[in-house]
Amino acid sequence: MKNELLKQLNDKSAKIGIVGLGYVGLPLMIRYSEVGYKVIGFDIDQSKIDLLNSGKSYIEHIKSDEIKKSKEVGFEATTDFKRIGEVDAIILCVPTPLNKYREPDLSFVLDTTEACVPYMRKGQVISLESTTYPGTTEEELLPRIEKSGLKVGKDFFLIYSPEREDPGNPNFTTRTIPKVCGGHTENCLEVGVKLYEGVIDKVVPVSSTKAAEMTKLLENIHRAVNIGLVNELKVVADKMNIDIHEVIDAAATKPFGFVAYKPGPGIGGHCIPIDPFYLTWKAREYGVHTRFIELAGEINSGMPSYVMKKIGQGLNERNITINGAKILVLGIAYKKNVDDMRESPSVFLMEKLRRRGADVSYSDPHVPVFPKMREHSFDLSSVELTPENLQSYDCVVLATDHAKFDYETIIKHSKFLVDTRGKFKERSEKIVKA
């Protein structure tokens, strides 16, 4: 069984099934198609399936031409999970959010697994790429699959290989970012490495699925903690009338022992605000309280409130209250130059402003219409940044520093500007750093 699957993966006769066609699954599908694999994509969102099957992309940095090229070599998308039996590899790329109690929500992973299991057969490899706590693959996926009578390491092969996508980053692609891979057994690991080595330049094998799961959490916790540190230092520096961005730039000239992290209005994306809490939750099972991680999360999640405070102070100095004030938020994607809205601190800020009675608008060249989101709802479209429009707002808040913004026009025509990204270096009475 193993040798036949290895042969199929090696000669690219294996069919690849990718479940979840979003920011992770779609680039992976394109990469497998590029090198000659036949790919079937699975998703529960019929609108996405329809767009893909018509050769159209719904993610800004993924061009429709790439979808069309994939279709030309055999890619097709479906909502029909009965077709899981057609593929030789099943790669799960579904969300792993937190619930309202800030605890792991594995419903997407578990529901997807349950949807696949009835149609799984001997000779398949299944890989989980969704970020999760150590133990998920062997504690949750393994027993569900083995209930069907299939034996791991013999009839099917189970691996965990965390996604490492960085949407919109032109310097790193699905192909060039090294791929960590852990298998439940040695046979599983061997198959897992073969699954990815044909499409990824470097595959990094580790000793277990748990080690692979922990690797992804370490990467994101490292970033979350360091961003929390500079966000806290930003508040201290502001009290001392010091520009933290100037300090960070100066410190970054040290050629060793320092990595520059930038503060902001909070943290966003599907990974950094969420993943650390997967480990803190699991750590409690072992009687460990992860104070350092939770403190960083507390600091980062408090940044929209800090920005609110700076907005309120600035408006008060101009004899304007937040209640009734016209406020324009610049950039609602979670980071610059992408259309990715997941966990965006800009949206949390907009909600806080709306609750305080502000008349909130936004401008984002990457998000022309505010999208449907699970937890947020705004009936808004992006405002064009003309001099007249900018002058009509009591406060303009730079939340995400997109390269497409005309910063000269913004600073010239804004009455009052709150800069959360350190974009404006000059000192001016109309600028408040937050």
Residue 270: what pLDDT? 76
For 345, the token pair is 């601190």
Our CA dihedral for 30, 57, 346, 293, rounded to 10 degrees, sits at: -20
Amino acid at 165: E
CATH for 244-433 is: 3.40.50.720
181 is catalytic: no
411: nearest Cα among 379, 380, 387, 384: 387
Q: Is the dihedral of CA 260, 262, 268, 274 positive or negative?
A: positive
Residue 320, Cβ neighbours under 10 Å: how many?
A: 17
Residue 427: what pLDDT? 82
C-alpha dist (Å) from residue 80 to 40, 50, 83, 404? 10, 13, 6, 40
* Cα distance from N-terminal residue to C-terminal residue, the chain: 59
Domains 2-207 and 244-433 alike in fold: yes
Residues counted in the chain:
434
Residue 316: what pLDDT? 96
The CA-based angle 157-94-141, given to 5 degrees, is 35
C-alpha dist (Å) from residue 344 to 203, 303, 336, 394? 31, 12, 11, 23
Residue 99: what pLDDT? 84
**Contact present, 182 and 159 (Cβ < 8 Å):** yes
Domain boundaries, the chain: 2-207, 244-433
Choices 1.10.10.970, 3.60.150.10, 3.40.50.720, 1.20.1050.10: CATH for 2-207: 3.40.50.720
Given 93, 116, 271, 395, which residue is catalytic? Answer: 271
Long-range own/partner contacts, residues 176-182 (CB < 8 A, 24 or more apart)? 176/201, 178/202, 178/203, 178/204, 179/203, 179/204, 180/204, 180/206, 180/212, 180/215, 180/216, 181/205, 181/206, 181/212, 182/137, 182/206, 182/207, 182/208, 182/209, 182/210, 182/211, 182/212, 182/213
- List the pLDDT tens digit at each of the 434 positions of the chain: 899 999 999 999 999 999 999 999 999 999 999 999 999 999 999 999 999 999 999 998 899 999 999 999 999 999 999 999 999 999 999 999 988 778 899 999 999 999 999 999 999 999 999 999 999 999 999 999 999 999 999 999 999 999 998 887 888 999 999 999 999 999 999 999 999 999 999 999 999 999 999 999 999 999 999 999 999 999 999 999 999 999 999 999 999 999 999 999 998 887 788 888 899 999 999 999 999 999 999 999 999 999 999 999 999 999 999 999 999 999 999 999 999 998 899 999 999 999 999 999 999 999 999 988 877 789 999 999 999 999 999 999 999 999 999 999 999 999 999 999 999 988 888 999 99
Rg (CA), the chain: 23
CB contact burial 184-203 (16+ within 10 A = b; e otherwise): bbebbbbbbbbbbbbbbeeb
| Beta strand residue intervals within 46-106, DSSP E | 76-78, 89-92
Do the strands 179-183 and 156-160 form a parallel or antiparallel pair, or are they unpaired? antiparallel
What gap in Å lies between CA 343 and CA 323, rounded to an integer? 25
The count of C-alpha atoms lying within 13 angstroms of the C-alpha of 14, restricted to the half-sphere facing its C-beta, is: 27
For residue 350, the surrounding DSSP H or E stretch is: helix 345-355
